[in-house]
Structure formats: C-alpha cells, structure tokens
Structure 1
Amino acid sequence: MSYLVIAVLCSVAVSVLLKVLRQHQIDIRQTIMAGYPVAFFLTWTLLKPDLSATADLNAAWGIILLLGILLPLVFVILGRAIESVGIIASDAAQRLSLIIPIVAAFALFGEVLTLQRTWGIFLGFLALVALVYRTPEKANATNSIYSRVNMSQRIGLAKVPVGLWLLGVWVGYGVIDILFKQVAKQGAAFPLTLFMSFGLAGVLMCLYLLILKTRWDNKALLSGIVLGMLNMGNIYAYIKAHQSLADSPSVVFTGMNVGVIAVATLVGVFAFKESLSKLNILGIVLAMACVFVLFWG
C-alpha cells in the first residue's frame, strides 16, 4: 500500500512539473531527455544492478527494448496529442489506458476475477470518467493556454489524424503498465532491467533531438534533474507495489490510475485554482470508494 501511495505522489509531481514547464514555455522534450541519465545514475547508485548478469537476461531483452523505445516515445506522442487536441482529451486517453492492463491482469496473468474486485474496478472506471470530464467552456479555456506555447517546441512529426495521436497515448501507456508488471516479476533482477531501459531511453531521446537539430536550453536541461528523480521514484515504487501485491495486479493498475487522477484533480483545485464540476466531485468520491473496495473490502 505504501509503495502505491509513493508511486501516485511521484506521478502527480511529474505532471505538476510538466505543467509548470509548459506554462513557462520550456521545451519539455529536453527535460525528458535530461531526466533519463539522472534515473540511470540513481538506479546504479541506489539499486546496484548486477552487470555481470547481463548475459542471463535472455527474454528480458525484449522488455528492455520495448521500454527503451516506449518510455520516451509516449512522451513525444503525448506532447503531439496535447498540441493537436489539448490537455483534456490527452489526459483522458492516458488515464483510460487503464483498460489495457486490467484486461491483461485476467487474460494474461491469471488473476481471479472476484465479485469484490469487479465492483472495485467498475467504481474505478466510473471515477475516471467523472474526473476527466470537463465542460466545453473549461476545456476550451485550458486548450487556449497550450495554444500559446512557443511554436518552436513543435516536435517535428508529420501531420497525422488527431485520433491516431490519442490512440497512441492510450495504447502506449497501457502497454508500458503491462511491461512494468513483467519487470516486477523478475524479482531481484529488476534493477538491471530498469538500468538498461533508462540508458536506452536516454540515448534514443538524445538522438531524436539531435536529428531535429534542437537548440539546447539550460533551464530545460536542469529541470531534467528533478524530473529524473521523480520518474525514478514513480517507476521504482510502482514496480515494488506490483511485487508486494503480486497476486492482485488489477488492484495496482486500478489504484495507480484512479489515485493519480484523484490526487491530480485536488492539486489542480488547490494549487492551480482550477474549478471542479459536481461530476468531478462525484469522481473523487467514487475514487475513494474504489480504493476502499479494492484494498479493505
């Protein structure tokens, strides 16, 4: 339970940092790239991966390759989605990616679908829908903020139908959740997988920015130190949560997604003075009910 709380708080802190960076028109692509060497170093220092076991990774190389590609790629896709349709629709697609790992928990990981977990998951889905909903007026107001972000930060990808960007966000985050579950199943070997994945992600993101001939920004790069620390805390705690609740992956998947969006909603209200509709407030209540049913029911 404590690991899941830490993962939720770190994830929300990452979202808050990215929101602040966007408000100050800082190129978050560079921040993301700079964050991976920090996470790489922290993994080496704190988790002490056994490099001698590299030859024994076997099937884990597939996970490393997928994470190394997807971790930076989903950030790029998310940025493009926000640019195309705004933060509201993009955030909804990200959080509703919960559907993919939840289905995988029962279809791939052999979890037993009890009545209690069915109700908990159902409440979680209702909470997600209620929390991501915004009235058209509020959505337009939020999107207008991001339309004023420096256009030099466009990520240089060819024009793609809007729906494909949202689909990319949905699938990308859902697959990453499943991959982290697989990493958690490695037990004591998971630090090495994280270490290699962070290293590959950092290299690929750097190459991507070099290809685009990016003009480097010291503020963006320094912000990467904070982002890397939070990202490392989020992923480490998330994997430990899966290990401590190894027989209940759906609890972790649901608790993480519902917890993040509920806490983020509260932060938005009290820190950024965003307003909540009655439906959003209902979503917070449903989120708390979901957590209660899944953990203590």
Structure 2
Amino acid sequence: MTYILLAVVFSVAVSVLLKLARRANVDIVQAVATNYVVAASLCVWLLHATPQAAIDAKATYAPLAILGILLPAIFLMLARSVRSAGIVRTDVAQRLSLFLSLVAAFAFLGDTLTGIKSLGIVLALLAVFCVLWRKERGGMERGGWLAPLSVFVGFGAIDICFKLIAQAGAPFASALLASFLIAMVLCWVTVLVRAAMRQAPVTARSMGFGVLLGAANFANILFYVRGHQALPKDPSLVFASMNVGVVVLGAFVGAFGFKERLAAVNWFGVVLAIGAIGVMTIA
C-alpha cells in the first residue's frame, strides 16, 4: 500500500501547489504548459511510453483530441476551484467524478444498472450537494459551486475518454503520452501568443513552478499505476484506497493547513463521498 499512499500524497500536493500559485505570483497557464513538458518527458523515461499505439488505433483519434483540450482546461479549472472553493471541496468533486463514469458505463458502454450502482449514484449526488453547500454565503451560490462542479464534470469526461481509448485497444501509457503531447502543444501555443501580445511575458518563476507541478502530477499517476501492478488481484482495493485517501487527506490539509471553513453539512458530504466511493467500487 506504500505506492497508494504516495499517490494520495502527490495528488493532494497538486491541489496544494495550485492553491499556492497565486501567492507565488505564478502565471498558471505557463505553469500548466511546463507541467506537460515535464510529465511527457517522465512518461517516456519511466513508463517507456510511445504514442504510436494510440496513433495506430483510429478509434482513439476523437477521444485523444478531446483529452488534449480537456487536460489543460481542467488544470486551469482546478486552480480556480482551489482558490474559490478550497482544497476540500475541489478534491471531493474530483474524486466523485467517477460517478459520471458509472453513469456513462450503462448509458453508452453497454453496462447494466443494478441496485448497488443506483445506490452509489444517489450517494454521490447527495455528497456533491452537501460538500458544495455554503451556508455562510447563501447556500449554493454561483461563486461557491461553479468551479468545483466544473472539476467534477471535467474529470468525469476525462475518465470516459480514457475508457473509450482503452476499448480501442491502446495501452494506457501510450494514450497518456499522446494526450500529454497534444495538451503540451496547445498550451505552449497559448503561452507564446499571450507573450507576443504582451499579455503575460514568460517568466522563470512560472516555468519553475510548472516543473514542480509536472513532477507532482506525474508522480501521482506513476505511483497509482505501480499500486495496481503491486496488487494485480485487488484493483477495487487500490481504486477505493486512492479515492478515499485523497478525500480524507484533502479534507485535513484544507481544513487544518489552510483553515478552510466547513459547515457540518460539508463534513457530512465528505463522509457521504467516502461511502459513495466504497459503494461504486464494489459495484
């Protein structure tokens, strides 16, 4: 379980870095662009990945193109969410996005809706509502829920894209590298255009921050993959441990490290989220 613990730590570390980005006067677009250079390089070095297998499977083209756009977009939305809604709400929204994959599985991928899956869906919906509720600011106001809700939807869409790529026969590492490369190109085009228009000059500070972000981002993925490799007969255990671990550690870091204010209904949502993850894992 050491690999899963490390994956949990680095997943929360990504949220912490994004929380600190504004304080460090970092241009988040440049940081995200640099992140994909680092992540793609580490993917080649440590996973020995090549994009060829994903390119050879023509059925991967559409989901890969969508991933190339979604991956940097979700990073920017993560940054906005941890600033406006906090680490706790953002990490719960991210982890509960597996609910959307469950819905897509029976809506589009031929899976069957069962009683236990229905229970998981209901718990996930309740958890999202409770976690995003902000009593002190008038309940579910737009500023309190829009960013984490976008994270919830975005990560669900990313997971669905990876499932479609897997169905097309492309290995995970190949698909991961291909999506990183697409995202990297799009991000750097944006960075260079903004620099040419003098909207945001490229800075060593932002790029250095992006190196840290890319290392943490890839470490999260690498240790999660290693966890599955170490426990090949217990994928559900790895899956549940990872998601519950991020929710719990994110809650502690947000509440006690950054003094994020959570009402009783929000903490109840965290508990519901853990329950929903458990139910959806055995479903």
Does the alignment reach a TM-score above 0.5? yes
Report the CA distance between 1:99 and its aligned residue.
Answer: 5.0
CA contact (8 A) 1:184 1:240 kept: no
Superposed CA deviations along residues 240-283 of structure 1, whole A, max 9, x for unmatched, are 889969998xx96x987676444322211121122321112222
Aligned residue among 84, 87, 91 for 2:85: 87
Query: Separation in 1 of the partners of 2:53 and 2:279?
Result: 41
- 1:275 maps to 261
Superposition map of 1:125-144 within 5 A: 125-137=125-137
Report the CA distance between 1:8 and its aligned residue.
Answer: 4.6
- 1:70 maps to 70
Query: Separation in 2 of the partners of 1:268 and 1:15?
Result: 10
- 1:211 maps to 193
Query: Separation in 2 of the partners of 1:271 and 1:93?
Result: 17
Q: 1:188 and 1:110, CA in 2 relative to 1: closer, same or farther beyond 3 A?
A: same
Q: TM-score, normalised by structure 1?
A: 0.71
User: For residue 31 of structure 2, what is the amino acid of its counterpart?
Assistant: T
- 2:174 maps to 192
Report the CA distance between 1:71 and its aligned residue.
Answer: 1.1
Report the CA distance between 1:30 and its aligned residue.
Answer: 1.2
Q: Does 1:202 align with 2:184?
A: yes
Count of aligned pairs: 269
Give percent identity, aligned residues only: 38
Q: TM-score, normalised by structure 2?
A: 0.74
- 1:19 maps to 19
Q: Does 1:265 align with 2:251?
A: yes
Give the unaligned 5+ runs of structure 2.
none
Deviation larger for 265-274 or 57-66: 57-66
Query: Separation in 2 of the partners of 1:168 and 1:282?
Result: 21
User: For residue 232 of structure 1, what is the amino acid of its counterpart?
Assistant: F
Query: Separation in 1 of the partners of 2:113 and 2:36?
Result: 37
- 1:38 maps to 38
3-state secondary structure, aligned to 1:23? coil
Report the CA distance between 1:237 and its aligned residue.
Answer: 5.8
Report the CA distance between 1:215 and its aligned residue.
Answer: 0.9
Report the CA distance between 1:201 and its aligned residue.
Answer: 0.9
Give the unaligned 5+ runs of structure 1.
144-161
Report the CA distance between 1:178 and its aligned residue.
Answer: 0.7
- 1:103 maps to 103
User: For residue 87 of structure 1, what is the amino acid of its counterpart?
Assistant: A
Query: Separation in 1 of the partners of 2:2 and 2:123?
Result: 22
Query: Separation in 2 of the partners of 1:184 and 1:128?
Result: 28
Q: 1:12 and 1:187, CA in 2 relative to 1: closer, same or farther beyond 3 A?
A: farther
Superposed CA deviations along residues 145-167 of structure 1, whole A, max 9, x for unmatched, are xxxxxxxxxxxxxxxxx97x888
